[in-house]
Amino acid sequence: MTDTISARARNPLAFLDAEIEDLKAKGLYRRLRVVQSEQRSRCVIDGREVITLSSNNYLGLNTHPRLRDAAIEAVRRFGAGSGAVRTIAGTMSLHEELERRLAEFKQVPAVLTFQSGFTANTGVIPIVAPEGAVIVSDALNHASIIDGIRLTKAERKVFPHSDMDGLRSVLGEVRAAPGGAERTVLVITDGVFSMDGDIARLPEIVDAAEEADAIVYVDDAHASGVLGRNGRGSVDHFGLHGRVHIQVGTLSKAIGVLGGYVAGSEALREILIHRARPFLFSTSHPPAVAAACLAAIDVLESEPELIKRLWQNTRLFKAGLARLGFDIGASETPITPVIAGSGAMAMKLSDRLFEEGVFAQGIGFPTVPDDRSRVRTIVTAEHSSDELKTCLTAFEKVGRELALI
């Protein structure tokens, strides 16, 4: 007993060491890979030149000359940082210009930007789902949605992934319960599911929500710049303008920079300015970020061939993996999971691919269920067909070696 106490007194954080040992024992311990070059289809990671299949840089925008120039120009004109939160002195003309451009692009009355997609969700959800509301959430929604829900005092109901009967039965139960007719109901879904690459069944979700008088909230992080005309997202992809009340997007993935935004009504924007906590209490984007995002919208509008190339590469790579016999799930987008089984096997697959010159991150529990651990691949518009063939050759070699095919 005294031994335990003194050990704890010496290191009150000893339980962290135990947790690390546990991760190591399960084969889930990771060191961070370090990118030592530009983030392109070929980059230098941990001292080795590899082809990367793990970046969200879908269109290659984070090294696009127009974004670079816009960022540099903004630093020269406005400096390195914004100096304050948006509600005090941190709203610069570039922030408002970006919001106007995004609202036009998304064809909605108003947009408000956040520091990231993550803070957009944690900021917005508690405001649109107040105490007494019910949130109806897809089982595979992103961690930032789950955390946003945790910050509310609303009731939470989860429906099985993309199960439209499940969604309708939850909505029916909520409305039929005593007092249910009066409640605010929020249906929330990823537009593209980040670990599986499937697209939400948005037309059916919207129909079900309309029948139940529910708000529809779509997180388009992996759809921004990927789906819809010029990358306008899943609402545009399905032609559902005006029927989805709240769209969250990210500026950190295909847009190539950093940030999140919410697109919706003027009233939504105004109330968020008064109430959304990350907006009120965390400093706004540096000028270079806003300027580079503005340049990215120009590129989306003027270079549609980037999105065309992204989808050509998607078809080529998926067909190749399927031909080799891998379990690639049910993806419909540039995200393609290669299911490995256990977490340890996914990490092993990722490590061996790296030795063969291909970087594709292994992903295990808690991000995905342990027995569906995987290597998640994302092709971009920048990959050449030769690079993708090289990746497929590496997958074939390592897949055979590990008896996955």
Does 144 bind ligand PLP (CB under 6 A)? Our answer is yes
Binding to ligand PLP by residue 333, rule CB under 6 A? no
Of residues 79 and 369, the one with the C-beta less far from ligand PLP: 369
Could you tell me the sign of the dihedral formed by the alpha carbons of 46, 47, 51, 57, in that order?
positive
Nearest to ligand PLP of 218, 404 (CB atom): 218
Q: Is 383 in the site for ligand PLP (CB under 6 A)?
A: no
Paired tokens of 220? 């388009």
Q: Read out DSSP for 158-205?
A: EE-TT-HHHHHHHHHHHHHSTTGGGS-EEEEEESB-TTT-PBP-HHHH
Among 105-113, 172-180, 217-225, 290-298, the segment contacting ligand PLP (CB under 6 A):
217-225
Give me the catalytic one of 194, 224, 252, 373: 194
231 forms part of the interface with ligand PLP (CB under 6 A): no
Q: 314 vs 352, which CB is nearer to ligand PLP?
A: 314
Minimum CB separation of residue 12 from ligand PLP in Å reads 32
Greatest Cα pair distance, the chain, in angstroms, is 71
Q: Is 138 in the site for ligand PLP (CB under 6 A)?
A: no
Rounded least distance, CB 193 to ligand PLP, Å: 8
Of the listed pieces 16-24, 100-108, 214-222, 278-286, which binds ligand PLP according to CB under 6 A? 214-222
d(CA 231, CA 237): 9
Give the helix ranges, DSSP H, for 223-331: 234-237, 266-275, 277-281, 287-302, 305-324
- Per the residue annotation, which of 95, 142, 222, 318 is the catalytic one? 222
Check: CB of residue 313 under 8 Å from CB of residue 334: yes
When asked if residue 117 is in the footprint of ligand PLP (CB under 6 A), the reply is yes
How near is the Cβ of 6 to ligand PLP at its closest, in Å? 43
> Does 37 participate in catalysis according to the annotation?
no
Secondary structure class of 327 (helix, strand, coil): coil
**Beta-bridge partners for 199:** 192
Nearest to 222 by CA among 244, 255, 246: 255
Dist. CA 347–CA 344, nearest whole Å: 5
* Residue 5, H or E segment: helix 2-10
What minimum distance in Å lies between the beta carbon of 233 and ligand PLP? 12
Please tell me what DSSP assigns to residue 52: E
**Which 48-107 residues touch ligand PLP, going by CB under 6 A?**
none
Q: Does 260 bind ligand PLP (CB under 6 A)?
A: yes
**In the complex, minimum distance from the CB of residue 211 to ligand PLP, in angstroms, rounded to a whole number:** 26
Residue 258 in contact with residue 131, Cβ under 8 Å? no
234 is catalytic: no
Over the window 151 to 190, marking each residue x when it contacts ligand PLP by CB under 6 A and - when it does not, the resulting string is ---------------------------------------x
Burial class (CB in 10 A: 0-12, 13-18, 19+), 81: middle
- The CB-of-373 to ligand PLP minimum distance in angstroms stands at 18
Q: Is 157 among the catalytic positions?
A: no
- Residue 301 backbone zone (phi > 0: left; psi -120 to 50: alpha; other: beta): alpha
How many residues interact with ligand PLP (rule CB under 6 A)?
14
Catalytic pick from 253, 285, 348, 383? 253
Point out the residues that are catalytic: 194, 222, 253
- Could you list the residues that contact ligand PLP (CB under 6 A)? 116-118, 121, 142, 144, 190, 194, 219, 221-222, 250, 252, 260
